[in-house]
Amino acid sequence: MIHKSAGRIVKSEINIPRLISSYYALKPDANLSEQRVNFGTSGHRGSSFASSFNENHILAISQAVADYRKKAQITGPLFIGFDTHALSEAAFISAVEVLVANNVELMISQDMEYTPTPAVSLAILNYNKGRKTGLADGVIITPSHNPPKDGGFKYNPPSGGPAEAATTKLIEQRANELLSNIAKIKRIDYQKALKANNCHKHDYITEYVNDLENVIDLKAIANSQLKIGVDPMGGAGLAYWQPIIERYGLDITVTNKQIDPSFGFMPLDKDGIVRMDCSSPYAMANLLELKDAFDISFGNDPDYDRHGIVTKSGLMNPNHYLAVAINYLFQNRKNWPTTTAIGKTLVSSSIIDRVAKKINRPLIEVPVGFKWFVAGLESGSYGFAGEESAGASFLRKDATVWTSDKDGIIMDLLAAEIFAKTKKDPSQHYQKLSQELSQPHYKRISAPVNQKEKEILKNLKTSLIKAKELAGEAILSKLTKAPGNHESIGGLKVSSQNAWFAARPSGTEDIYKIYAESFISSEHLEQVLAEAQEIVNKSLKTA
């Protein structure tokens, strides 16, 4: 059900002073699971109000990162960035105090400006280029598009992208040990840390902006004289747009220059919550109102690892844009080898599969989580990697790695490049693709489940699935491991010729998520969703 105020700006009720005070005043209980450090798909997230993201958490995680670096013999600098959430700067200060005290060579932003996730990834990879020892790694303090009350902490190893589960498990375990013994954490005063010999300033903005021409055809965009709108949505990329405009001569208008930790300028998302989700038409209502003033426009989440593309037709579905981007890139990056593959998560639209077949490129399907793409991007074996939640990155023009984490800025500018070079916007390209490859109908819903059933679903055996058909078509595959890397998907995917569904338990709520798609009709999609719930519920009862 859509909230009555979805898409509207409602005065924020979040008490920022109390949120920050809670960060310091509330002490988590390490014996309570909901208050322990928990590295999910995108690092540790929580809120100071719930005692799940507090000073002690960040002190413990930072010490755990320092300890991990010693064990892994990572001796190069650590690049650290933080986004515009209220808790991010407080967490940044805590992290600096611990990391500097542990003799980590720390690289902080030059003028304490906010730093997007892709800028940190790029800095790590640029530093490590040609090196075999003394490698760099990084930390990004962000809860992504989560509400203003939330905080997040993510570790990126020398590969430049999100850490693998084995790494985050070690950091998580050590952090929880320290959560019960804060006295073991090394720490120095913040002002002393900033003056320490191992705390250095790094110009993330200049490095990123100057390198941008090696991944996007910015001359073509400038020559096209496209009128471009940008809504930074109060995110970490705000300071990057003016240097991009000045260096490359782009006709870009930044529609909102506000930084507000309460995100009081944001329209409510579909459930009535302030959420900076650039793939939601409700959260993107401000930019959608301005769509006719620009040829193309885009918005991003607070750490700039997601993208939302707005054309004259409206906000593009992220799956649709991924298909267009893939179709364009692999036919217009002439220096990419013909063996370069496409990476996708298994809950992304199957129109990507059809595009891959059309352009004769290998497709690698992996579980949910961008960490599965890191090695392929770093090695250059993946030309493009994208996930269903509007996150993607791709190679430089010369087929070498750009970032191994999601980059919303290049996905924004790619949309402008496509328009500039083809004279058609990405929505028009998608219409052509869907006519050629059939129109997909895609939806995600959730259903209730208890803790025991979540564990069953997470470790489900395909032998428990007795169904032979899905919405009138023969079931062709039942998967609990991703075909691209044979890793567990933490759930189930069932496919027929023209439809599929995937079911995965939530890591934070007593629900499981069902993703489904039909290439027949929206009515057929509803039938797929109904039968998906029936198939999953029967298998849970049988187990």
The CATH number of the domain where 402 resides is what?
A: 3.40.120.10
Do 379 and 461 lie in a common domain? no
Summarize pLDDT for 152-210 with one digit per residue, the tens.
999 999 999 999 999 999 999 999 999 999 999 999 999 999 999 999 999 999 999 99
pTM of the model: 0.96
Residue among 522, 518, 495, 516 at smallest CA distance from 447? 516
Summarize pLDDT for 59-99 with one digit per residue, the tens.
999 999 999 999 999 999 999 999 999 999 999 999 999 99
Do 488 and 431 lie in a common domain? no
Do 147 and 281 lie in a common domain? no
The count of other CB atoms within 10 Å of the CB of residue 230 is: 25
Summarize pLDDT for 141-158 with one digit per residue, the tens.
999 999 999 999 999 999
Q: 310 pLDDT band (50/70/90 cuts)?
A: very high
Q: 374 pLDDT band (50/70/90 cuts)?
A: very high
pLDDT exceeding 70 applies to what percent of the chain?
100
Do 250 and 275 lie in a common domain? yes
Please check the confidence at residue 42 and state whether its pLDDT lies above 80. no
Domain annotation covers residue 296: yes
Do 384 and 454 lie in a common domain? no
Query: 240: helix, coil or strand?
Result: helix
Domain annotation covers residue 9: no
Residue type, 94: S
Please check the confidence at residue 433 and state whether its pLDDT lies above 70. yes
Do 160 and 53 lie in a common domain? yes
Instruction: Note whether 27 and 54 are within 8 A (CB).
Output: yes
Please check the confidence at residue 543 and state whether its pLDDT lies above 80. no
CATH number at residue 527: 3.30.310.50
**Residue with token string 């809950």:** 347
Q: What angle do CA 205, 74, 210 make, to 5 degrees?
A: 20
Do 323 and 339 lie in a common domain? yes
Token duo for residue 298: 């885009």
Do 146 and 268 lie in a common domain? no
- Residues recorded for the chain: 543
Q: How many helices (H) and strands (E) does the chain have?
A: 17, 23
pLDDT exceeding 90 applies to what percent of the chain?
92
Residue 258: phi and psi, rounded to 5, are -80, 140
Give the Cα separation of 79 and 346 in Å (integer): 31
Determine the structural domain holding residue 171 and report its residue range: 16-202
Do 171 and 229 lie in a common domain? no
The pLDDT value recorded for residue 190 is 98
Catalytic residues, by residue number, are 144
Domain annotation covers residue 10: no
The pLDDT value recorded for residue 508 is 66
Summarize pLDDT for 484-533 with one digit per residue, the tens.
999 999 999 999 999 999 999 987 678 899 999 999 999 999 999 999 99
Domain annotation covers residue 433: yes
Domain annotation covers residue 122: yes
Residue type, 458: K
Do 457 and 420 lie in a common domain? no
Do 409 and 461 lie in a common domain? no
Domain annotation covers residue 157: yes
Do 521 and 485 lie in a common domain? yes
Residue where one domain finishes, among candidates 422, 437, 452? 437
Residue where one domain finishes, among candidates 202, 224, 240? 202
**Domains: count for the chain:** 3
Summarize pLDDT for 253-285 with one digit per residue, the tens.
999 999 999 999 999 999 999 999 999 999 999
Alpha helices by DSSP H, listed for 78-116, are: 86-101
The pLDDT value recorded for residue 65 is 98
Domain annotation covers residue 4: no
Average pLDDT value over all residues in the chain: 96
Residue where one domain finishes, among candidates 437, 463, 497? 437
Token duo for residue 371: 């960490």
Domain annotation covers residue 248: yes
Residue 241: CB partners within 8 Å, gap ≥ 6? 230, 232, 252, 254
**Residue with token string 């219409």:** 431
Give the Cα separation of 373 and 446 in Å (integer): 26
